[in-house]
Amino acid sequence: MAGETHRPERRADALTKERIVEAAVALLDAGGADGLTFRALAARLATGSGAIYWHIADKHALLAAATDHVIARALADRVASAPPREAIRALALAVFDAIDAHPWVGAQLSGDPWQYAVLCILAGIGAQVTALGVAERHRFNAATALLSFVLGLAGQYAVGSRLVGGDKDRAAFLRDVAARWAQLDPERHPFVRQVAARLAEHDDREQFLAGIDLILAGLERAH
């Protein structure tokens, strides 16, 4: 009995999956997807690069675990008990804001849509689609349509933010794209030229919610 209380303390800096994932998130936030290497991770954790493989299978699993970590936190922060329509908007915005804070998550979600984090998002959407009163046979298509939209814009948004830095960089990026679009052949791409101006001045969040509302409006019309 007494012996148990004296069992050796774990070294304060012992490797755990959690510590590895937290360090990975920090590297990804600082340097994007390219910033995460096993060598950089080992250096930050003051260990050998091979040690990480004792706790995590490979880089694919490491990226998935880092994404799970961010998304789980984002989904947990929501307040529950809102009407379904608002709950879907809140859920989508939570994902959107998580990608805003961690742009690499956007690419990871759309690049590996069968990972656990995406399943959690789908579960959240599905619960609200059910609460909305959508007939059982339409729920699957309705929920996956919302999910596809969220993941699609997630990828799109992530790329604009990827070029490091804050909102200024994204604004500059969009200005560049808009300028390129404005120079297109008006004959072949009249629409794109037309919306080029809107692109530079548009608000991502507003565009995102408009898309969600569009799908929700379609859902209401269907039943």
Binding site for a copy of itself (CB under 8 A): 107, 110-114, 119, 122-123, 126-127, 129-130, 139-145, 147-156, 159-160, 177, 181, 184, 188-192, 194-195, 198-199, 202, 207, 210-211, 213-222
Q: Which is nearer to DNA, 8 or 50 (CB)?
A: 50
CA distance 118 to 131: 20
Please name which of 157, 158, 147, 164 lies closest in space to residue 199, comparing C-alpha atoms.
157
Distance, CA of 128 to chain centre: 20
Looking at residue 44, its amino acid is R
Burial class (CB in 10 A: 0-12, 13-18, 19+), 74: buried
CB of 27 to a copy of itself, least distance (A): 20
Q: Which is nearer to a copy of itself, 20 or 219 (CB)?
A: 219
Q: Which is nearer to a copy of itself, 30 or 159 (CB)?
A: 159
Strands, DSSP E only, in 42-135? none
Q: Contact letters (x/-) for DNA, 55-94, by CB under 7 A?
A: x--xxx----------------------------------
Specify the DSSP class assigned to residue 82.
S
Residue 49 CB partners (closer than 8 Å, separation 6+): 38, 39, 41, 42
Out of a copy of itself, DNA, none, what residue 15 binds, judged by CB under 5 to 8 A for its kind, is DNA
**Which residues in the 24-43 window bind DNA by CB under 7 A?**
36-40
Applying CB under 7 A, the residues found at the interface with DNA are: 14-15, 36-40, 46-51, 53-55, 58-60
